[in-house]
Amino acid sequence: MADQHSRAGGSSTASRRRAAPRKGPEYAARAACQSLEGLIGHRTEGVSAVRRSDDDGWCVVVDVLEVARIPDTTSLLASYEVQLDRSCELLEYRRLRRYRRGAADE
């Protein structure tokens, strides 16, 4: 009987969250990093920007370590723009720029 009561009251906010996962900026950033790593085979370093795109998807700028060097400040990184649809599935990506880790922004 206690089991039936707990199941009946189980339509809480927590169960609704499990049924429909939130696809906000944090989710989009993680999805962009995972998709890009799988495609290009380089480790992502972080995310520089996340914004909603015109089609209700996401545009994420991901920083990637392309060439590791010693010292670390001479490693080559690149910024990629990753376009995701509203379900956070990858639509396209492109490299925006390549730079040394120790280089200041222009």
pLDDT along the chain (106 residues), means of 10: 46 47 88 98 97 95 97 96 97 97 79
pLDDT for 99 equals 95
State if pTM tops 0.95.
no
DSSP label of 103 = P
Reference 62, options 87, 31, 85, 22; nearest CA is 31
pLDDT for 10 equals 47
Q: Is the peptide bond before 71 cis (omega within 30 degrees of 0)?
A: yes
pLDDT for 15 equals 46
pLDDT for 106 equals 63
